[in-house]
Amino acid sequence: MLKAYNYNTTFAISYSSSWNIFLFNKFPKGIPIVSQKKNRTPINEKIIADEVMLINSNGEKHGMINLSDALKLANDSSLDLVQVSPSDASPVVCKLLDYGKYLFDKKKNISSSKVKVKRNVTKEIKFRPSTDIGDYNIKLKKIKSFILGGDKTKISVRFRGREILNSDLGLELLNRLRDELSDISQVDQEPSLEGRQLLMVLSPLKKTN
């Protein structure tokens, strides 16, 4: 029979396969509930077998050996006896190794094997046709940092009012930038007039084998 309590409690839910019901286990508040997840890799005394095929710490086969003798070798070597074959394998294969270091290296290898994919980012730098030399040099330096960082860069020259009549000034500016950055970049989009602005796109220079 289930009873309800009003005082502060922590409940854990478990499943009973024999009764086909969920059981609610009550624990006093403040007592931590320890995970019951088991280590799926049998090690040392957790290994169930009379004899095992032993592999030494150098990866060489030692041969069939009594489990008790294998455990003694592991203890004498300050290592762990780790089962590396399925439990139903015949024979059960075990290896001498430092289990803590093994788990650390395994986690490290998984992390290092993840490919870091860099998103394709397009940066943008805006100029005016009348940009002075000081502002030009600052923005040139910024474009270089984008290109060297692996990012495409869209460079625009914005015209206001009657400035559009002198669009050749903007074209000269973009051509100058292209020439000054030719050693580290390539042109993805040649200068083109779109609305009231000139646009050019540069990307990092492709490496040639």
Hey, where are the domains in the chain? 44-113, 122-204
**Between these two residues, 161 and 33, which has the higher pLDDT value?**
161
- pLDDT of 183 strictly over 60: yes
- pLDDT of 187 strictly over 80: yes
Distance from C-alpha of 181 to C-alpha of 139, rounded to nearest angstrom = 12
Per-residue pLDDT averaged across 173-183, rounded?
94
3-state secondary structure of 84: coil
- pLDDT of 20 strictly over 60: no
- CA-based Rg of the chain, rounded to a whole angstrom? 34
pTM of the model: 0.44
Distance from C-alpha of 195 to C-alpha of 68, rounded to nearest angstrom = 83
CATH number of 122-204: 3.30.110.10
**What pLDDT, in 10s, does the model give residues 64-118?**
999 999 999 999 999 999 999 988 888 999 999 998 888 888 888 877 666 554 5
Distance from C-alpha of 111 to C-alpha of 205, rounded to nearest angstrom = 30
Average pLDDT for the chain: 80
- pLDDT of 61 strictly over 80: yes
Q: Write out the two tokens for 104.
A: 């650390």
Contact between 157 and 135 under an 8 Å Cβ cutoff? The reply is no
The listed CATH number (3.90.1150.200, 3.90.1300.10, 3.10.20.80, 1.10.1040.20) that belongs to domain 44-113: 3.10.20.80
Number of separate helices (H) and strands (E) present in the chain: 4, 10
CA proximity to 94, closest of 132, 45, 43, 133: 43
DSSP output for 3-17: ----S-EEEEEEEET
